[in-house]
Amino acid sequence: MSNLTPPFSPGASPQDEPRRSPAGEGGPAAGNISDSEREDLRQHGILLTSLEELYGWGRSNSIWPLQFGLACCAIEMIAAATARFDIARFGAEIFRPSPRQADLMIVSGTVTKKMAPLVVRLWNQMPEPKYCIAMGACAISGGPFKQGYNVLKGIDRLIPVDIYIPGCPPRPEALLHGLTELQAKIRAEHVSGPQAARHLQADSASEFPIPDYGAHDLEPPHNPDLFKPPASPRAEGLKN
């Protein structure tokens, strides 16, 4: 027992050890002890955790995606659900056909302006907490159809996006990587305080305005509260 340092002994200095907690930058998940101390305790049959950590762990391991596909990226999403890639390993295999039962919207493919109001309506119908993955070049920016008259230049003009997966289309492995990134993001969320998760903050929007079909374009063409384009690098060059 000589090699076992008592976790709460005054001699040990927890500050010397890197504090890494599943809760991310916001501080340790389970009180004032480091991960190595918790690991020591776990070897002695004592599991220390917090409600926040349990909550995030549970949610991150059962992300149910909404079952819909928009274009060829959907084929890769379907492939990710098959036995070869097996999205079930990450607890996201239950593709729900109803937005009321879904946690995750995978915008897989080209969003035409004719389809965009329907995508926003589906997003509004999903209950919180909900997350959005923009899968592929088209969902991110319009992709090869960026200059087209009937293609939305990125779904983030209308709904908030958590994870962007580039590719044309991204392979199923890329989708799985995006999913694990989303899991890490969910595990790092806090349940209270100023850094609480988006869905727990009272002033954060859950529903977004659905654009109308106008005579020449969607009205409005993007959500000005959500989409604030940075100045173009060339425009920055002009200013200087």
**Position 221 contacts another protein (CB under 8 A):** yes
**Position 231 contacts another protein (CB under 8 A):** yes
Decide if 179 contacts 63 (C-beta within 8 A). yes
Q: Is the dihedral of CA 170, 174, 179, 185 positive or negative?
A: negative
Among residues 9, 194, 216, 225, which is the contact residue for another protein, using CB under 8 A?
Answer: 216
Residue range at the interface with another protein (CB under 8 A); choices 1-9, 102-110, 148-156, 181-189? 148-156
Side chain identity, residue 26: G
* Residues 231, 181, 21: CA angle, nearest 5 degrees: 110
Q: Output the CA–CA distances (angstroms, integers) from residue 232 to 159, 171, 229, 235, 237, in the order listed.
A: 22, 30, 8, 5, 9
Minimum distance, C-beta of residue 218 to another protein, in the bound complex (Å): 8
**Position 114 contacts another protein (CB under 8 A):** yes
Minimum distance, C-beta of residue 191 to another protein, in the bound complex (Å): 34
Task: Give me the 169-208 binding string for another protein, x by CB under 8 A, dash otherwise.
Answer: ----------------------------------------
Q: Is the dihedral of CA 81, 84, 87, 91 positive or negative?
A: positive
Nearer to another protein, 106 or 134 (CB): 134
